[in-house]
Structure formats: C-alpha cells, structure tokens
Amino acid sequence: IELNFFDPMHSSTSSSIDCSDQRCNTGTCQNNQCSYNLKYGIVGGTSCATSGYYVSDRLHFNTISQGVLTKNSSAPIVFGCSNHRSGYLSKSEKALDGIIGFGHQDISVISQLSAQGVTPRVFSHCLRGDITGGGALVMGEVVEPDIVYTPLVLSQ
C-alpha cells in the first residue's frame, strides 16, 4: 500500500508548534518541537503506537445547508505529524495515511472547531454498508427530522 503522509513543507499555511507555544501542553519536547507519543493498545498480540510532532495548519471544508453548498471555509487546527509507527500501524498491508481523533479532549478536531465557534461539538459518520467502503463524515449538526444522536460518554 502506498501511503500519502502529510508533509508540512508542502503547505504554505503550516507551522510547527514549538515548546514555548501555549498550545503545547503535552509536556514533551524534542529539538524545540512540541512532540507526542501515543499508544493505541494491543492488536493481534502486538502493541501499536505512534510518535511525532505537532503542527498547525488550516482545515478546509465546505458548509452545506439543506443539501446545497453555501460556502467554502477554513479554520486553523493543531494536529500530530507521525514520524514513527510501531506494531500493527507499521505493517504495509494494514498501514494508514493518518488517524483523526474525535474524542472529548481539547486536541480533537471537533473540539478545536467547536472552541472557535465554527461548528457544534457534534459529528456523524455514516458508513456506506458494502465492501467498497465509502460513506460520509459530517462535522457539526445534521438537521434532519429522523436523525437520532447518541452521546459519547466519558469512560468511568
């Protein structure tokens, strides 16, 4: 599988998060870059982890209302750029271009967009349901009469 990793050098709006930046709250720094080390658990008997550094860039997205594109927008977000993967994440047949987080933490994409007033802290993911994959990922509310929301509950 050929992977397409994000390269901050190819973005005119990207900037690294250095250790003195208020958005660097991980407590870990390498070469004055705000860094991270995440462990995802054990898959297939092997521990999975990724590590790298944080960058800021603009997320470009479309705003759609009643099925019609109303505007193109963008917002700054902070995210991690992995430079090391281990376990299941490093195997070529199972490798990923990236992982996006939608948890409760302030660093999650949906939390960052909500904090900026861009969208409510709600997302939906509708899977297509066949073997070809696909579907829709929506950040923000879907205003439809038959939509039922299920809250994400913090683990106890």
Q: Is residue 3 part of a domain?
A: no
List the CATH number of the domain containing 122: 2.40.70.10
Q: Does a structural domain hold residue 133?
A: yes
Q: pLDDT by residue (tens digit) across 47-86?
A: 888 889 999 999 988 877 777 777 888 999 999 998 888 8
Note whether residue 144 is domain-resident: no
Q: Within a domain: residue 125?
A: yes
pTM for this predicted structure: 0.77
Extended strands (E) in 17-99: 29-30, 33-43, 46-65, 68-86
Q: What is the pLDDT of residues 126-154, one digit of tens each?
A: 777 777 777 878 887 776 677 777 777 77
Structural domain boundaries enclosing 13: 8-139
Report the candidate in 84, 90, 23 with the shortest Cα–Cα distance to residue 54: 23
- Is there a domain that residue 151 lies in? no
Contact partners, residue 143, CB within 8 Å, separation at least 6: none
Parallel/antiparallel/unpaired status of strands 15-16 and 46-65: antiparallel
Structural domain count, the chain: 1
